[in-house]
Every structure is written in C-alpha cells, then in structure tokens.
Amino acid sequence: MKLLIEHGRGGLYVVETPKERRKFKELMNLFHPQGYVIAPMMRGKRDLVYKIGDDWCVLIMLHKINNFNLSKMYKLDWEETWFVRRILTVPTAKEKHGDVAVEALKALEAWLKKGGNEAIITLTLPRHSGGLYKKAGYEELAKTRKGDKVWFICRLR
C-alpha cells in the first residue's frame, strides 16, 4: 500500500496490489450492506484504507463525481469534486471504536485539499441520519428525489 497522508493517529493509504485489493473487496463484501461495487461511471476510482499501525480500521471507496445534475445545480467542478461511494469501519479492527471513521474522513479531506480539490460529496444509506458526516463537519446539501437519502458535502476551498 502507498501512504497518501499521515493524519490523526494513523495514515490514509491507497490499495495497490492484487492481494490488498482482494482483502479490501472481501471486507467490503462481508461487512458493508451494499458490498463492493465496480462500474464504468466510477471515474478515477480509488480504494483507500485508513490504518493505525497495521490495523485496517476504515475502508473508503472513492471516485470523481458522476452526478451531472448535482454538479451543475451546486456548481461543483466535475474534475475536482470526489464522491465517497462507500465507507466502512471494519468491525474486526482493533481500533474500531471512538471517532476512527471521522479521523479517516479528516485524513481524506487533508489529502484531497493538498491536491487542490474542491469538495467531497457523499450520500447516506436509506434510513441513516448521516451522523458520521455531521460529526466530521459535512453540511447537508439536499435530499434525494424519493427523500430516503441525504446528500452531504465537505467544501475543501
């Protein structure tokens, strides 16, 4: 794994090898309700791991924004806005308690900000309040058309 940035108690890494990718997919499929996904609309896709020591604490599936209407409506730069597709606090991690997922989002913010990016957006699962994103300082942007999910944004500049 390649270290992207040290932040908080750990570091944010990008998955690079086939062995790392297998472990990432296995954990995501085992513990996330929507599992691992790969689709052609996921431009610039990256699988990221927030680690404390050797402990895989939080997994993040990230790609560039792919919702054209949302990007136009809120004037989000198509190339400099990233979408957190999935985030998972690994239940088997030693460091799964407390604010480790917030630490991971803050590490992601720091890394993307360092690269000159504009924003991070994400979407809650149905019937989820978005408490993690609120605690990390993200702003509620809008509800989906059905009203069962909420868009959140973290502006980086």
Nearest to 121 by CA among 57, 77, 58: 77
CATH class of 2-155: alpha beta
Q: How confident is the model at residue 29 (pLDDT cuts 50, 70, 90)?
A: very high
Q: What letter would DSSP give residue 106?
A: H
pLDDT in tens, 98-138: 799 999 999 999 999 999 999 998 988 776 778 899 999 99
CB-hemisphere CA count at 13 Å for 97? 1
72 φ, ψ (degrees, to nearest 5)? -70, -45
Domain locations in the chain as residue ranges: 2-155
Sheet containing 150-155: which strands, arranged edge to edge?
2-7, 10-14, 46-52, 55-64, 81-89, 119-123, 150-155, 139-143
Q: Residue 73 pLDDT more than 90?
A: no
Q: What letter would DSSP give residue 104?
A: H
How many other C-beta atoms are found inside a 10 Å radius of the C-beta of residue 21?
Answer: 13
Residue 72 pLDDT = 86
Residue 17 pLDDT = 97
Residue 45 pLDDT = 93
Residue identified by tokens 């004037």 is 75
Q: Residue 6 pLDDT more than 80?
A: yes
Q: Residue 64 pLDDT more than 80?
A: yes
Average pLDDT over residues 39-65: 93
Cβ atoms of residues 136 and 110 within 8 Å: no
List residues bridging with 48 in a β-sheet.
14, 60
